[in-house]
Amino acid sequence: MDLLSTDLITQMTGDQLDSLLEQIRTAESRLKAIQVELVREVDRRQIPLGDGMRTLEDWMIGRMDLTRASARQLAAVARADSAALDSLLAAGVSFDRVAELADAGETDPHLEVDLPGLRNMLARRTPVQRADEQAAFDARFLAIQPTLDETSWNLWGKLTALEGKQIAETLDRVADDLPEAPHGHRDSRATRRADALFVVCDRHGADKGDTSPATPGVPATVFVDATDGPSRPGAWLASGPRIGPSALERLLCGSPIDVIALTEDGEPLRVGNATTAIPPATRRYVLWRDGGMCTADGCNSSYRLQPHHIQHRTDDGNNQPDNLTSLCWYHHHVVVHGRGFRIDPTSPTRRRRFLPRSNSDPPI
């Protein structure tokens, strides 16, 4: 990096100064990580002895123009020979902090100490100042934005330590209460947390009498591109996002819905109507017949119970009770409509099994 002119420095904003200092500190730590490796190798080859020096520290003082204190620190980190300390340096933790840990002998070189463990140890040795807390509080945000093609949404943000921990623990607790996916399918903790976040918001919406299109009983309008043909069913919700075949199946399954097919010019071609939804009497009968419980084998949840079309509406499945089975929110929205598992029609009425999932559309 070229040296900065005084002029340039005086023109920098406070944020720019701060950010540049942070970049330098990180770069410094990475260089230190390399220095530690090299010193370790010097020690291993006993180069100081060959040079007639009594100790590694003496060699470094002469050879590298270090003070005794700095030489002692560097030797301590090199000799700790701890992968965890090395990765702290590589991650940009300052050398002074890492040296402090090595010095305190808090890392056993023969033990694999994990990075989070070391971060904890480091945190314990660094008191949190009121200013740090204030900065963390002021920096809180949660950004929720659709991707450009609107196939998904991104979430990211920053929270205070207490908030972050509480939210993570709550989501984990909600996730643990969700049923298991069939066929030994295991979702990652991160995926389960995403499901849990939806459940928490959905419950809150239900408490407030929310009337989103996904809420049963509330008609939604879907525009279908009639020129796309059945192999590429593209659809738009009246309220906005473009959806694909899975989301269309999900909507047709759950709610009374108006389907409007559009020509190439955007003119309505065919107009379906909400009467294609499950008649309320049939819905009530199916929920009663299934004992007010999810019919998935082993599940006894009654959360957001909905009649599901065993043969999907988009495959000409009808609204007869034989083609309907009660599923809880998780089995209906996550397992069936999200993951693509289908109900095995030959499985017992109250103990529904799922067919192995297929992500491809059925052949036409």
Binding region for Zn ion (CB under 5 A)? 179, 294, 296, 299, 301, 328, 331
Query: Which residue's CB is nearer to Zn ion, number 32 or number 337?
Result: 337
For 315, the token pair is 């495959």
Smaller CB distance to Zn ion: residue 101 or 294? Answer: 294
Other CB atoms within a 10 A radius of the CB of residue 190 amount to 8
CB of 116 to Zn ion, least distance (A): 34
Nearby residues of 343 by Cβ (< 8 Å), 6 or more positions away: 308, 310, 325, 336, 352, 353, 354, 355
**DSSP code of residue 207:** H
CB of 321 to Zn ion, least distance (A): 19
CB of 329 to Zn ion, least distance (A): 8
The secondary structure of 231-296 as a DSSP string is: TS--EEETTS-EE-HHHHHHHHHHS-EEEEEE-TTS-EEEE--GGGSPPHHHHHHHHHHTTTS--B
Cβ-proximal residues to 112 (8 Å cutoff; 6+ apart), any chain: 83, 84
Whose CA is closest to 314, among 263, 246, 258, 262? Answer: 246
Which residue's CB is nearer to Zn ion, number 40 or number 304? Answer: 304
Residue (243 or 336) nearer to Zn ion, CB:
336
Q: Which is nearer to Zn ion, 278 or 328 (CB)?
A: 328
Quick one: 309 or 331, whose CB is closer to Zn ion? 331
End-to-end CA separation in angstroms for the chain:
62
Helix (H) or strand (E) holding 44, with range, is helix 14-44
Smallest separation, CB 186 to Zn ion (Å): 17
Q: Are 67 and 130 in contact (CB under 8 A)?
A: no
Structure tokens belonging to residue 142: 């949660």
